[in-house]
Amino acid sequence: MILIADGGSTKADWIALNNDKNEEFRVTTLGLNPAIVPEKELHNRIINMFQLTSIKDDVTEIHFYGAGCGTPKPIEILKNILQSIFVNAKIFIAEDMLAAVYAASGKDPALVCILGTGSNSCYFNGVSMEMLVPSLGYILMDEASGNYFGKKLLIDYYYGKMPKKIAKEFDKEFNLDADYIKKNLYRESNPNMYLASFAKFMFEFKEDTYIKRIIKKGFQEFFKYRILPYNKTTETPIYFIGSIAYYFRDILDKIAKKNNLKITDVIKRPIDNLLEYHKNNIN
């Protein structure tokens, strides 16, 4: 049995394949970002999924692509946890950026970007990924991501910069008590996922001028820091992965055009494309 996982900060999609590479089942767990989620919680999120634990002794390979898996220490943490559960498996861990590349361009050169709970980008030259800077995560980077917009909405609400009509609806939808917010930000696991939960509010009011303005500003920041420095031309395919890019595709296209670039495709969830890549390319 082979497991393929696309592990974001909010959720992780798993697909189990039999030895003939036919799909047995797929499940979704909570996010498994080892750079943020405590080890015990990572372990619990996996073993609490019955479908995974029911086959744990039969799994011979795990290909895990995850947010937070771009540096050695988090990879080691997650690998040890997976090995303790799937004792007979060879485990391969790479960052979610590589899953995005495989899902979007496969083996072809392209600029590939993630705009989901977090954000990132790379240029894939057909062999390896070229990244200008490592991502320092949701506090310092993650431009135009769900947590980026969540922070923006909370800041504007508390400083009174959010239009009254929007602020009223925002207040209705979320618990905006200061102590509750601080507890989720500073005492609970996955503060980035908590921040990103506010971004769903934008989907409901995407035609509002205020919402459009902050989305445009966020996307322009992403292009400024994560796309334009690669100095690629309109001939270079550009792919986006993630819900933020998917639901605001129209605005994303306009920002790309403003920067003399064109988006090739936007993929909401990469797991199906990733599955096809593995079927065709992994022995």
The predicted pLDDT at position 177 comes to 97
Instruction: Characterize the bridge pairing of strands 119-124 and 129-130.
Output: antiparallel
3-state secondary structure of 209: helix
CA 115-118-123 angle, to 5 degrees, is: 55
Q: With contact defined as beta carbons under 8 Å apart, do 211 and 205 qualify?
A: yes
Q: Give the integer Cα–Cα distance in Å for 217 and 50.
A: 43
The predicted pLDDT at position 269 comes to 84
User: Which residues in the chain belong to E strands, given as ranges?
Assistant: 2-7, 11-17, 23-30, 61-66, 90-95, 110-115, 119-124, 129-130, 238-241, 265-267
The predicted pLDDT at position 71 comes to 86
Radius of gyration, CA atoms only, the chain: 19
The predicted pLDDT at position 226 comes to 95
The predicted pLDDT at position 135 comes to 78
Chunked into runs of 10 residues, the chain (283 residues) has average pLDDT values of 89 90 91 91 94 94 91 94 96 92 91 92 93 82 94 97 96 96 91 92 93 96 95 92 94 95 92 86 67
The CATH classification number of 2-100+271-281 equals: 3.30.420.40
Q: Give the integer Cα–Cα distance in Å for 245 and 120.
A: 12
21: left (phi over 0), alpha (psi -120 to 50) or beta: left
The predicted pLDDT at position 233 comes to 84
Q: Specify the amino acid at residue 262.
A: K
- What are φ and ψ of residue 249, in 5° steps? -55, -40
The predicted pLDDT at position 133 comes to 82
| Residue ranges of domains in the chain | 2-100+271-281
